[in-house]
């Protein structure tokens, strides 16, 4: 009989496999949250680059507030993968984004990590279903996708593959929540997950505009940093458009501006605005708004935008 998996609250040691920009960012984050971190990376100069990255991130993390006992000294670098994962309560894999490499590496990690330990992957696009194929214990492999830099951006998208156990998805979500992350637990695999999918739609449109000579790189960036980008840390795209509907909110927005969805504003084909979709959007916004009236949300947005502008020295 194998050892039992520790509770998410009892995780003490995180193994970070792959220590580039994302893996190194995870190392810095876990150290700042008070964990012991053991890192491994096959590249020759990986340890040096990792320590440079952590050193560079540490002042910011200190300023944001370290967890009790947090220290750069809690980082160990191991030359052998098996040594790196031996004492781990959870393993975070952050290898380059190549499917065959991820498959092999996850199988290697799986072979040397005690079977009760969760192995999660930072992949930004592959589903765990296609990555876990060579693992002997695929049920404990899961995706936990961060945003760059993982030591500052709160979002982590957690989603399992076909062979992932449901309790592993739940365990992983709880672990990252307790570690201070903003977790989205997805109940199905979607290529690109949620945030990258949205980000990618915007990015493709930007490429189309540059390709067609409709906008320059600088205009595209300025249009976001000085425009809708100032609202998005405060209210996401749905709540933003909830307010575009005036006091009528999302319902008014969709019922009155729905037809303009058909306008050729992007190269992305519009979805059909069925009654079901309309209702899902309206009810979602109402749930999100909760007790807050449109006026409350407007005031909240304005306070937020002002705070953001001031914090960036742009007020």
Residues 97-116 that bind a second copy (CB under 8 A): 97
Residue from 305, 304, 289 nearest 242 by CA: 289
Is 265 near a second copy (CB under 8 A)? Answer: yes
Per CB under 8 A, the list member of 21, 43, 82, 166 interacting with a second copy is 21
Minimum distance between the CB of residue 136 and a second copy, rounded to whole angstroms? Answer: 28
Stretch 49-68 residues interacting with a second copy (CB under 8 A): 56-57, 60, 63-65
The answer to whether the beta carbons of residues 90 and 30 sit under 8 Å apart is no
Three-state secondary structure call for residue 38: strand
Minimum distance between the CB of residue 134 and a second copy, rounded to whole angstroms? Answer: 22
Three-state secondary structure call for residue 8: helix
Return the number of other C-beta atoms located less than 10 Å from residue 61's C-beta.
Answer: 20
- Strand pairing class (141-146; 118-121): parallel
Stretch 145-184 residues interacting with a second copy (CB under 8 A): 147-149, 152-155, 157, 182, 184
Return the number of other C-beta atoms located less than 10 Å from residue 64's C-beta.
Answer: 10
Backbone angles phi, psi at 159, to 5 degrees: -155, 140
Interface with a second copy (CB under 8 A), residue total 115
C-beta closer to a second copy: residue 134 or 196: 196
- What the block records as the tokens of 26 is 């995870």
Per CB under 8 A, the list member of 158, 209, 249, 297 interacting with a second copy is 209
Is 131 near a second copy (CB under 8 A)? Answer: no
Stretch 229-258 residues interacting with a second copy (CB under 8 A): 229-239, 241, 243-244, 246, 257
């Amino acid at each position: 009989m194998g050892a039992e998996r520790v509770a998410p609250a009892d995780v003490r040691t995180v193994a970070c496999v792959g220590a580039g920009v994302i893996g190194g960012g995870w190392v810095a984050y876990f150290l700042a949250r008070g964990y012991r971190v053991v890192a491994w990376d096959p590249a020759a100069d990986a340890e040096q680059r990792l320590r440079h990255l952590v050193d560079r991130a540490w002042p910011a993390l200190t300023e944001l507030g370290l967890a009790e006992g947090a220290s750069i000294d809690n980082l160990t670098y191991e030359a052998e993968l098996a040594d790196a994962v031996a004492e781990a309560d959870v393993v975070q894999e952050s290898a380059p984004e190549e499917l065959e490499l991820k498959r092999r590496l996850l199988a290697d990690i799986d072979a040397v990590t005690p079977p009760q330990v969760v192995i999660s992957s930072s992949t930004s696009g592959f589903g765990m279903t296609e990555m876990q194929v060579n693992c002997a214990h695929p049920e404990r492999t899961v995706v936990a996708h961060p945003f760059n830099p993982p030591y500052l951006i709160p979002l982590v998208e957690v989603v399992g593959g076909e062979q992932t156990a449901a309790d592993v998805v739940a365990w992983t979500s709880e672990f990252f929540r307790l570690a201070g992350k903003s977790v989205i637990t997805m109940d199905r695999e979607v290529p690109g997950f949620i945030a990258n999918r949205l980000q990618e739609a915007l990015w493709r449109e930007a490429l189309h505009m540059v390709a067609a000579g409709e906008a320059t790189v600088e205009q595209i960036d300025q249009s976001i940093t000085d425009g809708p980008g100032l609202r998005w840390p405060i209210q996401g795209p749905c709540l933003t458009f909830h307010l575009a509907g005036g006091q009528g909110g999302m319902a008014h927005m969709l019922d009155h501006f729905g037809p303009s969805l058909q306008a050729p504003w992007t190269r992305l084909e519009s979805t059909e605005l069925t009654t079901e979709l309309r209702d899902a959007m309206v009810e979602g916004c109402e749930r999100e708004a909760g007790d807050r009236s449109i006026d409350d949300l407007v005031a909240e947005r304005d306070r937020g935008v002002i705070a953001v502008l001031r914090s960036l020295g742009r007020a």
